[in-house]
Chain A
Amino acid sequence: MPAALELRDVRKSFGKTAIINGVNLAIEKGERHAVIGPNGAGKSTLFNLISGRFPVTSGTISLNDREITGLPPQDISRRGLARSFQITNIFPKLSVFENIRCAVLWATGHRYSFWQRVGGLRDVTERCDELVQQINLGKRRDTPAGVLSYAEQRALEIGVTIAGGADVILLDEPTAGMSNTETADAVALIRSVTVGKTLVMVEHDMSVVFGLADRISVLVYGQVIATGTPQEIRGNKAVQEAYLGTEQH
């Protein structure tokens, strides 16, 4: 299987503090991969490195066999990698529809144009309305994103992430802070919007992880201590000691 996303000996230090200590990771095309690990293990930092938010200290990252190390976020996004954020990161004054449209406009090639009326772009409007329906915010289409409920904002966060049609999707704790029913809805949504795509997600809710992921990587102190199927991870001694064990107390 060719790798959709590959990290080779990726390291990141902030000053003298090393957060990521040589991560090697190969995500296969079309797989759903979860990254788990205790707080402070560096999961979000890893996402920030992959998506270009922070530069790596050393190591290389490639997307579909092309190196993306050191590229700015917009270039990585244009090459087909999209991410969501742990803390909701949307356009608060724009409506739900417009939030989605920001991502669709780039993907449909309208970019920086100032010679077309945005309302007249049929393909864009149709695609955005489809997506708004898909994330179940049809009734909130014209509501400013800033006044949505928390769960709705999380759904919009996912919507903005997938709207550009990227084939590699990074979701950072998509169900954090949600009730059980909201989590179930979010999982169903993630399933439906990532069909045929490669998904990498950071997640704390083990039921979500074991329900969704094809493979799991465990990150502890900035290193991947194990990668494998949910069964393998459940049976892994080192993982139990480092991580799962502490959850059972």
Chain B
Amino acid sequence: MTSFFHIRRLALWAITALVMIALPLLLTQSFAISMLSQMGIAVIFALSYNMLLGQTGMLSFGHAVYFGLGAFFSAHALNMIGAGNLGLPVTFLPLVGGVAGLAFGVVFGYVTTKHSGTPFAMISLGIAEMVAACSLMFPSFFGGEGGISTDRVVGEAVMGITYGQGRQVYYLIAGWCFVCMIAMFALTQTPLGRMANAVRDNAERARFVGYNPTRVRYTMLILSSFFAGIAGGLAVINYELVTAESLGVVASGNVLLMSFIGGVGHFFGPIIGAVLVTYLQSALSNYTLAWLLYFGLFFLVMILFAPGGIASLLAMHKPAWDVGQLRRLVPSYIAAGAASLVILAGLITLIEMIYQVETKKEQSGTVMNLFGLTFDAANAGPWIGSLATMAVGAALLWGASRLVRASWQQVTIAINAKRGA
């Protein structure tokens, strides 16, 4: 049994590695490569965040502090390498970020992890605000509004690698990402990792079997800050710039959203969340000014209908997959998906018309193109049309949801029958 799981797990890691290697060969445009690089950084950051939220039950509003401080230290280190004052290959620069993150984890974590629950969340927010305020008070280190810029093409080229090309940077990030993913997964399988779960579930009981929950939280926070700092160091190499924004509360909120959307209850949840949110942020913002609104609506829908995130949606289907009944769900899912698309089309039309009238009227008037149609947002027709589309979509979704429920019932019966047998 155990060896079977080991083989399956190894296969999963091997596939992950292959995908990470193959992606830039398939998506060769430079914006795609830069997006993949961002995803790699986000994956490390989100996984490090989930060491706190998902594994130890600590809701932090200030995790970007460790990412950002790691980034600033890496930026200065990179500038020192450039000036010939530091003999460190750029490949290992993220370690500077990691060590800086870890050091601040030791300092700030000592204060924050004295408490759990709401007090922890509040103190983490306080520290985030404090560090953000400091970043404007010490312009020599944080570079003021402009931040610290740097140049990653420094030092001797090792085997022709200079990190001048986006693809080389991607592979550097992917390599670190892979190593960090394995390290963070391995951590969940250690005594500390298991006790983090125990402290999350019932900190008091952990005391009565000999563990100090504060020490468990503190150690987890220090380790998690290390990985956040590595992500910060990689961000410096990727952007060649770090500003105070990277350690602010918005960045902290962002990593929380990523982890939550992906699902904090499963190790791989934040990976999905980081990839998806990074994609939405860079792809959606190319298409529409209203992308933050769409993103907010998406988050809202996730919280309302899938509070466990995408990972829990996937996990929900595993029993059906195991008994080979997944295909029974497909027709009803297609119906529900189609109905949702109808609602979405109406909603997008409505939102885009509002944006056209409110923000783009002066520049380009009220005539607009959407879904291959040209119409005038000054007329009542498109407004009525979009609302009607949403209403029709809602009715269809209501019908489709009954189909989904009916097919789930069948699948559940099949699962129970298999279990009973």
Instruction: Identify the A interface with B (CB < 8 A).
Output: 51, 53, 72-74, 77-78, 82-83, 89-94, 98, 101-103, 105-107, 110-119, 121, 160, 163-164
User: Any chain A CB within 8 A of the CB of B145?
Assistant: no
Given A103-B209, A114-B223, A164-B210, verify A98-B194 contact (CB < 8 Å): yes
Q: Are B212 and A91 in contact (CB under 8 A)?
A: no
Q: Are A102 and B219 in contact (CB under 8 A)?
A: no
Q: Are A72 and B212 in contact (CB under 8 A)?
A: yes
Given A105-B195, A119-B189, verify A83-B202 contact (CB < 8 Å): no
Contacts of A93 in B (CB 8 A): 197, 201
B210 CB to closest chain A CB (Å) equals: 4
Query: Which of A53, A82, A106, A112 is in CB contact (< 8 Å) with B219?
Result: A112
Q: Are B198 and A106 in contact (CB under 8 A)?
A: no
Q: Are B191 and A114 in contact (CB under 8 A)?
A: yes
Q: Are B202 and A92 in contact (CB under 8 A)?
A: yes
Determine which residue in B187, B189, B202, B223 has the highest number of CB atoms from chain A within 10 A of its CB, and name it: B202
Within 8 A of A (CB), among B187-210: 187, 189-195, 197-198, 201-202, 204-210
Q: Are B207 and A160 in contact (CB under 8 A)?
A: no
User: Any chain A CB within 8 A of the CB of B211?
Assistant: yes
Contacts of B195 in A (CB 8 A): 102, 105, 112
- In the A-B complex, the 8 residue pairs with the smallest Cβ-Cβ separation, listed nearest first, are A106-B210, A103-B209, A114-B192, A73-B207, A91-B201, A110-B191, A77-B210, A114-B190
User: Any chain A CB within 8 A of the CB of B215?
Assistant: yes
CA distance A107 to B191 in the complex (A): 12
Q: Are A160 and B191 in contact (CB under 8 A)?
A: no
Given A73-B208, A83-B208, A112-B216, verify A91-B191 contact (CB < 8 Å): no
CA distance A82 to B209 in the complex (A): 7
Determine which residue in A91, A110, A163 has the highest number of CB atoms from chain B within 10 A of its CB, and name it: A91
Residue on A with the closest CB to B187? A114
Q: Are B205 and A91 in contact (CB under 8 A)?
A: yes
B315 CB to closest chain A CB (Å) equals: 14
Q: Are A163 and B209 in contact (CB under 8 A)?
A: yes
User: Any chain A CB within 8 A of the CB of B186?
Assistant: yes
A19 CB to closest chain B CB (Å) equals: 20
Q: Are A114 and B193 in contact (CB under 8 A)?
A: yes
CA distance A112 to B198 in the complex (A): 12
CA distance A214 to B216 in the complex (A): 40
Contacts of B211 in A (CB 8 A): 74, 102, 106, 111-112
Contacts of B193 in A (CB 8 A): 114, 118
Interface string of B1-40 (1 = CB under 8 A from A): 0100000000000000000000000000000000000000
Q: Are A90 and B202 in contact (CB under 8 A)?
A: yes
Q: Are B223 and A102 in contact (CB under 8 A)?
A: no
A163 CB to closest chain B CB (Å) equals: 7
Interface string of B351-367 (1 = CB under 8 A from A): 00000000000000000
Residue on A with the closest CB to B223? A114
User: What 11 additional pairs, Cβ within 8 angstroms, besides A73-B207, A121-B191?
Assistant: A82-B209, A91-B202, A94-B198, A102-B209, A106-B209, A112-B195, A114-B223, A117-B186, A117-B190, A118-B189, A118-B194
B308 CB to closest chain A CB (Å) equals: 13
Residue on B with the closest CB to A110? B191
Contacts of B186 in A (CB 8 A): 117
A184 CB to closest chain B CB (Å) equals: 27
CA distance A101 to B189 in the complex (A): 13
Contacts of B205 in A (CB 8 A): 89-91, 102, 160
Contacts of B206 in A (CB 8 A): 102
Q: Are B198 and A102 in contact (CB under 8 A)?
A: yes
Residue on B with the closest CB to A145? B201
Contacts of B209 in A (CB 8 A): 77, 82, 102-103, 106, 160, 163-164
Query: Which of B2, B204, B210, B212 is in CB contact (< 8 Å) with A89?
Result: B204
Query: Which of B2, B191, B208 is in CB contact (< 8 Å) with A116?
Result: B191
CA distance A106 to B198 in the complex (A): 13
B343 CB to closest chain A CB (Å) equals: 35
CA distance A153 to B215 in the complex (A): 28
| 10 A-B pairs (CB sep. < 8 Å) | A73-B204, A74-B212, A78-B210, A91-B202, A92-B201, A93-B197, A112-B195, A112-B211, A114-B193, A119-B2
B355 CB to closest chain A CB (Å) equals: 44
CA distance A117 to B186 in the complex (A): 7
Given A91-B197, A94-B197, A94-B198, verify A77-B207 contact (CB < 8 Å): yes
Query: Which of A73, A74, A102, A115 is in CB contact (< 8 Å) with B194?
Result: A102
CA distance A94 to B188 in the complex (A): 13
CA distance A78 to B192 in the complex (A): 17
Given A112-B219, A113-B191, verify A107-B210 contact (CB < 8 Å): yes
CA distance A110 to B189 in the complex (A): 13
